[in-house]
């Protein structure tokens, strides 16, 4: 025992040093807060938790003999299949050993086979293997049934076990999202596969996603959801050859994940969108009525029912707003099961998934994440917090003008017997039209066509001059006596004075509209180990630009942790929009502007010494990559293509960015983007070299601390589940993204994440000491 102690001490010290030397990768994640497996033995009235783990558990199915439940769990760092006794007498155990994604299991009718989705060969394919709950199988023992570069999802056996139906996006080209043009949008159809002959038959062809097919108990029909009658999914039924497609759920609400109960009933999942509550209904063909299956304190998804009526589902309680995750997704700041360790090919990384729209950058020197927040929960408070002294003259002018007009109308009514009323009604109508014109012009430039906001000033001045001239001309023509002695003159005095005030208002808005409201982003630092939160500072207003361009769209620490690089502006950066790069010094507690606000400048990055800064800008009329070094500004790309997200290596000798110069057309004016590398060559820089070649989007690169690796987000591996199931319930505009590391020396790529959540904006920093 005495001889073993030094060995134990050495191993303890070694493991401690290894743990503290892990470099950290922080990235944004659109994953749920927490999901467990829930079981109901009373017909779905109540559900009890079957699992209890910090990581996500989901997509559970019950074996035909009702002895086992198979589900997907991320408890070992990857989504993989686990099995446990249905009675809860044993702990969950892995079913398949692999380094790939596994999910969406389905039992054959006799329980001997298990079909599931896996990414073992790159993209999502459907595999088939023997069900052996007492042993772990290698993924190579499973049979790939689909063999296609598209994504294949949600398999379901026919009652006789001869066929498998599933959904696939293989037949549709990837297009840009109709709302988020930088994101990808996919569509899917239902396919039927004969397991013995491997004959594949396409059953549906629609301009939306047809998904989650399920056989009826008698084998005569296939249920599925589809948005073919509109953008909102509903449940449909068809014959097994794809004929006689008929909608069978109510079109007034969303419906997905059908579960046949009997020949006359099926259940499905829906969403109470005003209240963001998930619940489950049962539909009866005979009566046409919907009955609530479950609407309790849990949000339950993807129900599965055994023959005897036992229900299993996954979900959790509705997430609540938390102080440590202001402005992000409700619930915990850190994703379920994180931080977790990733080890592969000499890399040992601590992965930290941050549940926010963008990754909160990590402090290079401590366990801190920085995030920005603008409180928009109370519109009145938001307005008052953003209002400046420039807005009060607007309110005074509006109130004064309205009072003048109403005073003139009132006097015209009092003098209706002496003066023809039509004159004053006509004058009042003209003033009303003028007021609507003023408001319309302002709202058009301020809220509708923000990219033309700069035209508000000349338009406001010209409009005010013209209207003012017409008002004075009309007043002089119709006022022959002193305003103090003649009733007509007094009426016209009030009416046209109100009009003049509105004209003054238009000119004032043109001059000072950019200074009326300027919301201030608040910056917070949170310790992701203790969850203690501290407010750091408020971003100073960017007077002179549209208030919408004050939103923070990028945030990075200086490489030495002494300050922040902040970009304010629009994310995509179309023509006419403005973005600005700022820096904030922690020691000096001061904010300074690094770029002007006349162009779309943004997504800046510093080298380790801060002697070189790289950023994107459209100052040369195209979205190019610029480098600022020694006071000299250089355009490194000078092309009509769209470039973005530049980053610079710690030594300042390499720059990586994304560009659509060789991209694939996926929408009107929208192309896919890939990574490109520029190297320093003497006093200049090399031409861009393409690093990735993807048919979908790639973005948000970042260097490793040693500059040898690039980490980035990509959709090149496709998606791992049906798109509507997650865009309907989990906000995910880009739909999907995996984090991938690329070694610059040999271009080797390693997938860091494997799941079905959108993940992006990874930042790679040194480990804590």
Q: What's the pLDDT tens digit per position in 462-501? A: 877 777 777 677 666 655 444 444 666 667 677 777 777 7
Range with top average pLDDT, 233-247, 266-280, 515-529: 233-247
CB 555 within 8 A of CB 547: no
Which residues does 477 contact at the CB level (< 8 Å), separation at least 6?
none
pLDDT at 7 over 60: no
Distance CA 192, CA 206 (A): 16
What SS3 class is residue 398?
A: helix
Which residue, among 107, 115, 94, has the nearest Cα to 66 in the 3D structure?
107
pLDDT at 1 over 50: no
What SS3 class is residue 12?
A: helix
Helix axes 421-443, 391-414, angle to 10 degrees: 160
Average pLDDT rounded to a whole number, residues 336-354: 91
pLDDT at 9 over 60: no
DSSP assigned state of 53: -
Distance CA 60, CA 35 (A): 11
Distance CA 206, CA 190 (A): 10
Provide the pLDDT confidence category of residue 420 given band limits of 50, 70 and 90.
Answer: low
pLDDT more than 70, % of the chain: 91
Provide the pLDDT confidence category of residue 380 given band limits of 50, 70 and 90.
Answer: confident
Which long-range CB contacts under 8 A does 148-151 form with residues at least 24 apart?
Answer: 149/123, 149/718, 150/123, 150/718, 151/123, 151/124, 151/186, 151/188, 151/718, 151/719, 151/720
- Say what the pLDDT of residue 464 is: 77
pLDDT at 694 over 70: yes
Average pLDDT rounded to a whole number, residues 667-695: 92
Range with top average pLDDT, 149-163, 177-191, 283-297, 376-390: 149-163
CB 314 within 8 A of CB 304: no
- Say what the pLDDT of residue 382 is: 74
pLDDT at 16 over 50: no
Mean of per-residue pLDDT scores for the chain: 86
- Say what the pLDDT of residue 489 is: 67
Which residues lie across from 95 on neighbouring strands? none
Provide the pLDDT confidence category of residue 732 given band limits of 50, 70 and 90.
Answer: low
Which residues lie across from 555 on neighbouring strands? 566
Provide the pLDDT confidence category of residue 10 given band limits of 50, 70 and 90.
Answer: very low
Beta strands 368-373 and 522-527 are: antiparallel
Distance CA 317, CA 635 (A): 51
Distance CA 328, CA 663 (A): 31
pLDDT at 624 over 60: yes
How far is residue 486 from each of residues 408, 453, 480, 482, 499, measured CA to CA in Å? Answer: 13, 44, 9, 6, 20
pLDDT at 615 over 70: yes
What SS3 class is residue 661?
A: coil
Which residues does 76 contact at the CB level (< 8 Å), separation at least 6?
94
Give the least confident one: 58-72, 568-582, 673-687. Answer: 568-582
- Say what the pLDDT of residue 252 is: 83
Which residue, among 28, 53, 70, has the nearest Cα to 361 in the 3D structure?
28
By CB neighbour count within 10 A (0-12 exposed, 13-18 middle, 19+ buried), where does 23 fall? Answer: middle
Which residue, among 694, 733, 731, 729, has the nearest Cα to 715 in the 3D structure?
694
Distance CA 283, CA 285 (A): 7
Provide the pLDDT confidence category of residue 144 given band limits of 50, 70 and 90.
Answer: very high
Q: Is 544 left (phi over 0), alpha (psi -120 to 50) or beta?
A: left
pLDDT at 4 over 90: no
Provide the pLDDT confidence category of residue 614 given band limits of 50, 70 and 90.
Answer: very high
- Say what the pLDDT of residue 197 is: 93
Distance CA 624, CA 637 (A): 6
Average pLDDT rounded to a whole number, residues 137-147: 94
Which long-range CB contacts under 8 A does 127-132 form with residues at least 24 apart?
Answer: 128/164, 128/195, 129/96, 131/63, 131/70, 131/107, 132/95
Provide the whole-model pTM.
0.88
More confident residue, 434 or 250: 250
Give the least confident one: 421-430, 494-503, 506-515. Answer: 421-430
What SS3 class is residue 26?
A: strand
Provide the pLDDT confidence category of residue 396 given band limits of 50, 70 and 90.
Answer: confident
- Say what the pLDDT of residue 103 is: 96
DSSP assigned state of 381: H
Average pLDDT rounded to a whole number, residues 91-115: 95
Average pLDDT rounded to a whole number, residues 136-147: 94
- Say what the pLDDT of residue 466 is: 78
Q: Is the backbone peptide bond immediately before 339 cis, with ω within 30 degrees of 0?
A: yes
Strands of 66-111, DSSP E: 68-73, 80-85, 93-94, 96-97, 102-107
- Say what the pLDDT of residue 18 is: 43
- Say what the pLDDT of residue 339 is: 93
pLDDT at 610 over 50: yes
- Say what the pLDDT of residue 577 is: 82
DSSP string, 232-248: S-EEEEEETTS-S-EE-
Phi first, then psi, for residue 306 (nearest 5°) are -85, 170
Distance CA 49, CA 271 (A): 22
Strands of 288-363, DSSP E: 290-294, 298-305, 311-317, 340-344, 347-354
Provide the pLDDT confidence category of residue 416 given band limits of 50, 70 and 90.
Answer: low
Which residue, among 53, 134, 66, 136, has the nearest Cα to 102 in the 3D structure?
136
Which residue, among 591, 660, 581, has the nearest Cα to 616 in the 3D structure?
581
Average pLDDT rounded to a whole number, residues 497-514: 79
Average pLDDT rounded to a whole number, residues 404-431: 70
Provide the pLDDT confidence category of residue 183 given band limits of 50, 70 and 90.
Answer: confident
What SS3 class is residue 459?
A: helix
More confident residue, 264 or 679: 679
Q: Calculate the CA 739 to chain-centre distance.
A: 15
How far is residue 738 from each of residues 233, 531, 765, measured CA to CA in Å? Answer: 26, 27, 19
CB 585 within 8 A of CB 563: yes
- Say what the pLDDT of residue 141 is: 93
Per-residue pLDDT of 699-731, as tens digits, reads 999 999 999 999 999 988 989 999 988 877 776
Distance CA 156, CA 197 (A): 17
What SS3 class is residue 682?
A: coil
Range with top average pLDDT, 28-37, 110-119, 573-582, 717-726: 110-119
- Say what the pLDDT of residue 21 is: 57
Which residues does 161 contact at the CB level (< 8 Å), separation at least 6?
108, 109, 110, 113, 195
pLDDT at 553 over 70: yes
The H or E element containing residue 487 is: helix 487-512
Give the least confident one: 291-295, 527-531, 544-548, 569-573. Answer: 569-573
Average pLDDT rounded to a whole number, residues 12-33: 69
By CB neighbour count within 10 A (0-12 exposed, 13-18 middle, 19+ buried), where does 350 fall? Answer: buried
pLDDT at 415 over 90: no
Average pLDDT rounded to a whole number, residues 118-140: 93
Give the least confident one: 390-399, 440-449, 488-497, 553-562. Answer: 488-497
CA angle 581, 587, 592 (to 5 degrees): 25
Beta strands 96-97 and 137-138 are: parallel
pLDDT at 84 over 60: yes
């Amino acid at each position: 025992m005495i001889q073993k102690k030094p060995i134990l001490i050495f191993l303890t010290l070694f493991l401690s040093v290894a743990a503290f030397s892990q470099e950290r990768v922080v990235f944004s994640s659109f994953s749920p807060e927490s999901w467990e497996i829930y079981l109901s033995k009373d017909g779905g009235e109540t559900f009890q938790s079957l699992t209890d783990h910090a990581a996500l558990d989901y997509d559970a199915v019950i074996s035909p003999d009702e002895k086992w439940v198979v589900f997907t769990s991320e408890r070992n760092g990857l989504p993989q299949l686990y099995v446990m006794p249905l009675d809860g007498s044993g702990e969950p155990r892995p079913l398949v050993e692999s380094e790939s994604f596994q999910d969406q299991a389905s039992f054959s009718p006799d329980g001997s086979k298990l079909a599931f989705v896996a990414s073992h060969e790159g993209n999502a394919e459907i595999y088939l293997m023997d069900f052996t709950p007492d042993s772990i199988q290698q993924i190579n023992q499973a049979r790939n049934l689909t063999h296609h570069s598209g994504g294949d999802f949600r398999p379901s056996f026919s009652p006789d076990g001869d066929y498998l139906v599933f959904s696939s996006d293989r037949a549709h080209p990837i297009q840009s999202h109709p709302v988020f043009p930088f994101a990808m949008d996919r569509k899917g159809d239902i396919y039927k596969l004969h397991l013995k002959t491997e004959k594949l038959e396409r059953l549906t062809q629609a301009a939306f996603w047809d998904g989650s097919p399920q056989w009826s108990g008698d084998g005569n029909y296939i249920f599925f959801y589809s948005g073919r009658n509109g953008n909102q999914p509903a449940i449909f039924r068809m014959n097994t050859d794809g004929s006689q497609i008929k909608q069978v759920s109510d079109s007034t609400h969303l419906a997905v994940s059908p579960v046949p109960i009997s020949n006359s009933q099926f259940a499905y999942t829906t969403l109470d969108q005003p209240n963001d509550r998930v619940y489950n209904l049962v539909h009866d063909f005979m009566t046409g009525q919907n009955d609530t299956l479950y609407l309790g304190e849990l949000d339950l998804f993807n129900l599965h029912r055994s023959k005897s009526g036992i229900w299993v589902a996954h979900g959790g309680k509705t997430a609540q707003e938390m102080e440590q995750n202001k402005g992000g997704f409700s619930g915990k700041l850190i994703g379920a099961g994180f931080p977790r360790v990733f080890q592969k090919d000499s890399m040992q990384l601590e992965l930290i998934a941050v549940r926010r729209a963008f990754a909160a950058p990590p402090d290079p020197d401590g366990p801190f994440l920085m995030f920005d927040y603008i409180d928009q929960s109370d519109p009145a408070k938001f307005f008052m917090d953003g209002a400046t002294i420039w807005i009060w003259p607007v309110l005074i002018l509006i109130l004064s003008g309205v009072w003048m007009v109403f005073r003139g109308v009132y006097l015209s009514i009092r003098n209706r017997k002496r003066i023809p009323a039509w004159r004053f009604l006509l004058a009042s109508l003209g003033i009303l039209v003028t007021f609507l014109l003023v408001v319309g012009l302002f709202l058009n430039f301020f809220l509708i066509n923000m990219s033309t906001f700069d035209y508000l000033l000349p338009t406001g001045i010209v409009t005010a001059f013209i209207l003012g001239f017409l008002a004075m001309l009309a007043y002089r023509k119709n006022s022959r006596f002193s305003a103090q002695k003649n009733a007509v003159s007094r009426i016209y005095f009030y009416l046209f004075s109100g009009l003049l005030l509105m004209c003054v208002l238009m000119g004032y808005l043109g001059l000072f509209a950019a200074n009326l409201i300027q919301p201030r982003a608040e910056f917070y630092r949170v310790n992701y180990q203790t969850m203690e939160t501290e407010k750091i500072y408020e971003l100073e207003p960017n007077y002179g630009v549209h208030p919408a361009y004050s939103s923070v769209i990028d945030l990075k620490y200086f490489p030495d942790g002494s300050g922040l690089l902040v970009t304010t502006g629009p994310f995509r950066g179309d023509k006419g929009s403005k973005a600005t790069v700022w820096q904030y010094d922690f020691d000096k507690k001061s904010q300074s502007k690094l770029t002007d606000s006349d162009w779309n400048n943004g997504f800046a990055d510093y080298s380790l010494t801060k002697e070189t800064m790289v950023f994107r800008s459209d100052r040369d009329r195209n979205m190019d990559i610029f480098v600022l070094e020694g006071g000299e500004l250089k355009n490194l790309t000078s092309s009509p293509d769209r470039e973005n997200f530049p980053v610079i290596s710690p030594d300042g000798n390499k720059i990586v960015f994304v560009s659509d110069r060789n991209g694939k057309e996926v929408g009107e004016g929208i192309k896919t983007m890939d990574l490109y590398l520029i190297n320093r060559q003497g006093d200049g820089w090399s031409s861009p070299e393409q690093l990735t070649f993807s048919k979908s989007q790639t973005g948000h690169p970042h260097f490793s601390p040693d500059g040898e690796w690039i980490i980035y987000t990509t959709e090149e591996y496709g998606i791992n589940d049906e798109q509507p199931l997650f865009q309907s319930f989990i906000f995910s505009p880009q739909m999907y993204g995996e984090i991938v590391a690329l070694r610059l020396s040999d271009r080797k790529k390693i997938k860091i994440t494997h799941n079905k959540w959108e993940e992006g904006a990874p930042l790679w920093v040194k480990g804590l000491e």
